[in-house]
Amino acid sequence: MSITERLKSTTVGQRVAAVAVLVVVVCVAVWLVVAGQQRAARAEAIERYETTLATFSTELAQAKQDATAVQDRLPECREVAQTSAGYVQKHEATCSTVENSLGAILDYPEKPKAVIDDLEAASVDEINAAADELEDKVAHARNMQEIAKGYDADIQSVIDTVRGEYKDKHVREALDEATAAVKAARDEIAKVPAGLIEDWVISELNTKADDLEKFVSDVEARFDEIDYEEAIDTRTSLAGYTGELTTATAELSQMATANSVGGRGFAESYRRDRDQNDATSSQPSANKETAKNSSSSTRSGSNSGRKAPAAAAPAVPTRAQAPAPAPAPAAAPNTGGWVETGDVIVENKTGEGICGDEFGNTWPC
């Protein structure tokens, strides 16, 4: 039987029922398709939301970690800024700006308002809107990472700048002072007459000057390669060596002054007294005894009014093993008159002499 014949044989009611069944089947099929699409869209929205939220949490944690690392460098930033050669306030201001700006990163909320507490109750549109907002938060978190890196670069710039200033200013000043000390030592050595100061004193000062000059030359040759830590050590070493050389130079100057001025000044004074005595002794016999008594009385009174003799010799630079002292001069023959020995004039009338120092003190010797 053909389909047409079958339709003719059915009643109207049967036809209506068949159409109704067909409509229901189509509707169910459509509903199933739509429901499937909705479920897929919802699942996709939830997955996107959850992925974005996890990414945001990761990126924000990284930003805060970077900010914390920068925060840990702030003490170094301030400490180095204090050593700046004239720009302390400027560098400290940079450190403070970084510290204040880091707060915006470290205090950023880890749970933004876009977070949905109940996904089951949220619509697909709400979930998608939250995911969109979280994507913006992810971009912001990544931007905060770049900001933290910028702050770290600011701190490093302060450190590099100040350390460069330290070397260019403080080490350079120490080099100049050392060079001046070497020149002063050489000039002082050149001024000392031959034989006035013992050779070992001159040799020791020359050695100190040579050593410091070589050290300065080595530092100059490596100046561009010296880092901050080495610059601190170099400055300290230069200051120490320069101080030692300056002290040794001053001691040499004192010795030269004492040997060439102090003792000889006393000797010249004693020569004048001797010449006056000789002039007195050349007078007539009637006045000779009076002049002799007067001269003796004058010397005796002068000696009694002066201070006790100073036993200390001129200071000399410290030395591990000083050379053996020169043997004492042989006693002058008991023949009377005056005997000069170095810077001391000895009255040799009785075999005992009168010694003196640059301050005018005299004593038997």
Residue spans of the domains in the chain: they are 15-158
Whether the pLDDT of residue 288 is over 60: the answer is no
Select the more confidently predicted residue: 2 or 22: 22
Select the more confidently predicted residue: 311 or 15: 15
Determine the average pLDDT of the residues in 240-265.
Answer: 79
Determine the average pLDDT of the residues in 337-345.
Answer: 43
* pLDDT band for position 276 (cuts 50, 70, 90): low
DSSP state of 169: I
Cα–Cα distance between 75 and 185 in angstroms, integer?
Answer: 43
* pLDDT band for position 147 (cuts 50, 70, 90): very high
Residue 326 is encoded by which pair of tokens? 């020169």
* pLDDT band for position 343 (cuts 50, 70, 90): very low
Determine the average pLDDT of the residues in 49-66.
Answer: 95
What stretch of H or E contains 344?
A: strand 344-347
pLDDT of residue 258: 75
pLDDT of residue 247: 92
pLDDT of residue 273: 54
* pLDDT band for position 45 (cuts 50, 70, 90): confident
Give Cβ neighbours of residue 88 (< 8 Å, ≥ 6 apart): 81, 82
* Predicted structure pTM score: 0.50
pLDDT of residue 89: 87
pLDDT of residue 361: 57
pLDDT of residue 85: 67
Determine the average pLDDT of the residues in 1-20.
Answer: 63
Select the more confidently predicted residue: 186 or 288: 186
pLDDT of residue 301: 40
Long-range Cβ pairs for the range 344-350 (8 Å, 24+)? 344/263, 344/266, 344/267, 345/267, 345/270, 345/271, 345/274
Number of H helices, E strands in the chain: 10, 4
Whether the pLDDT of residue 129 is over 80: the answer is yes
- Rounded to the nearest integer, the mean pLDDT of the chain is 74
